[in-house]
Structures are given as structure tokens and as C-alpha cells.
Amino acid sequence: MMTEQALEALARLVARLEEARPYVTREDIAAAWKARPGWPALGDLLNQGVEGGMLLRDTRTRFDATQGTFHETQLYRVNRRRRPAIY
């Protein structure tokens, strides 16, 4: 039950972040996430959301111009076909 509530809260958060940004990173989610006692860790919830089809995840390579390096980042969005009730 707690995990289900946490997943719903996570999906609502990602949906709100999507409204304000062109893409949502794991770091964006972590900065805005407010876990409640007893909820699973955010990383576990993100994985469960993706595995359950609630969230979609892409991995992108980004260039950091200040350091001249490339690094991978994970982008998330709500799977609107699977979770229309959160809107």
C-alpha cells in the first residue's frame, strides 16, 4: 500500500516537472522529491515505476562544455497511456 501511494506521488511529481521543463532528469526528481516515512528509496521507486509501465526512461549522453566531457543522464516522463488518472 505504501509503495503504491509513493508511486502515485512520484508520477504526479514527474507530471508536474514535465509541465515546467523540456525534459526531467533523475536529479530534477531527486531535488523535488519529498519522501514520507516508510516509503521505498527514490531509486527503487523509479525502477518500479519504469518496470510497471507508469514511467518511461531514456538514457541520453550530454556534453559538459565547462569540463569538456560527456556523461550519461537518465530522463523520465509519465507514460500517459498507462496513467491517465493522475492528470
Q: Give the number of C-alpha atoms closer than 13 A to the C-alpha of residue 30, restricted to the C-beta side.
A: 9
Residue-level pLDDT at 76: 97
Q: How far, CA to CA in Å, does 57 sit from each of 43, 51, 66, 70, 77? A: 13, 10, 26, 19, 7
pLDDT at 82 over 90: no
CATH class of residue range 2-86: mainly alpha
The pLDDT tens digits for 51-73 are 999 999 999 999 999 999 999 99
pLDDT at 77 over 90: yes
Q: How far apart are CA 26 and CA 76, in angstroms?
A: 7
Under a CB-based contact definition with an 8 Å cutoff, are residues 73 and 59 in contact? yes
Q: Which residue has the higher pLDDT, 4 or 69?
A: 69
The pLDDT tens digits for 14-60 are 999 999 999 999 999 999 999 888 899 999 999 999 999 999 999 99
Phi–psi pair at 81, nearest 5 degrees: -70, -30
Residue-level pLDDT at 2: 79
pLDDT at 85 over 70: no
